[in-house]
Amino acid sequence: MSAVVFDPYAAMVATSRRQFLYALNPLSKVAGVAPAMLLLVFVRDLATPLAFLVFAYALILAGARLTARLLLVLLVALPLGVAAIGVGFSLWVDAGLVGGTAPVLSIGDWTLFRGALEIGFATALRLGAIVALALVGGLTTSGPDLVRASIQQLRVPYRIGYTALAAFRFVPRFGHELSVIRAAHRVRGHHGGRGPFARIARGWGYIVPLLAGAIRHAERVALAMDSRAFGAHATRTERHLVPFRMRDTVFIVLCLAASAAIFIAFFPWQLS
């Protein structure tokens, strides 16, 4: 009887068919939105980044599995952040550069011009669109899958890739050890008082135990990798495959076509 091997990638695809972004290779999501993010660096108008922002939202809402918290971030927090950044940038615009536009608000000798608002919100919309495009892959891709895809498709040396994967695994480990250290301090009555200085003092007391735990964990990982002859060979076999399928190619082509269409339709071309 043949052994059954559990493939987490296939399981994720099978349980997330309605959210199509989960079924895509991590590299295809990066390749699909990266050109749009690069284009946003060079645009200075309002319509182009707004169109890219709507495009990113459409991908996320249609292809990602969103919780109530994420919906709150996307529909409330991000728009409010864009509005706040737009107003903030508009206040720093030199009035001499936009003095020919219509005034919007006047307080004493200070005047806020329409041109300043346009510049400020154009910058804020660019930042918001870049963040939203980054969330297309960020919300639907795990760090280990991205590392595995880089090793399998981009031919990144597995020594480098799995070093990054080990570092990625350290983050939740640190969180767990920090919670254990805090619980131990509470049991021993090491509260240290209240207020910001007391919190800084408590945080300083966590550093040495965290460093000691990190060194012990790194030593165990190094011994385990050495006992398995990690790095002794030029290549290695993969237990968990992250395939690159036709759907990934289609997604990249569609994203590139949509980015080109948005850029052509909304960018304010000036032909002499």
pLDDT tens, residue by residue, 67-97: 999 999 999 999 999 999 999 999 888 877 8
**Domain limits of the chain?**
8-141+243-266, 157-227
Q: Please name which of 238, 246, 185 lies closest in space to residue 210, comparing C-alpha atoms.
A: 185
Helices (H), the chain: 8-15, 26-42, 47-63, 68-72, 78-91, 114-138, 143-153, 158-187, 196-227, 246-266
Taking 90 as the threshold, does the pLDDT of residue 51 lie above it? yes
Amino acid identity of residue 177, one-letter, is E
pLDDT computed for residue 196 by the predictor: 65
CA-closest candidate to residue 186, choices 205, 200, 171, 170:
205
Lowest mean pLDDT among 86-90, 120-124, 206-210: 206-210
C-alpha–C-alpha distance, residues 221 and 200, integer Å: 31
Q: Quick check: 237 and 148 in contact, CB under 8 A?
A: no
Average pLDDT, the chain: 82
pLDDT band at 231 (very low <50, low <70, confident <90, very high): low
Going by pLDDT thresholds of 50, 70 and 90, the confidence category of residue 168 is confident
pLDDT tens for residues 15-29? Answer: 445 689 999 999 999
> Would you say 87 and 81 are in contact if contact means Cβ atoms under 8 Å apart?
no
Residue 97 CB contacts under 8 Å (≥ 6 apart), including other chains: 115
Indicate the pLDDT class of residue 216, thresholds 50, 70 and 90: confident
| SS3 labels along 216-246 | HHHHHHHHHHHHCCCCCCCCCCCCCCCCCCH
Please enumerate in sequence order all residues whose Cβ is within 8 A of that of 67, keeping only pairs 6 or more positions apart, or say none.
Answer: none
Cβ-contact 60, 74 below 8 angstroms = yes
The confidence score (pLDDT) of residue 252 equals 96
Cβ proximity of 213 and 177 under 8 Å: yes
User: Which pTM value belongs to this model?
Assistant: 0.76
Residue 99, SS3 per DSSP: coil
**Cα angle vertex 144, ends 139, 146, to 5°?**
65
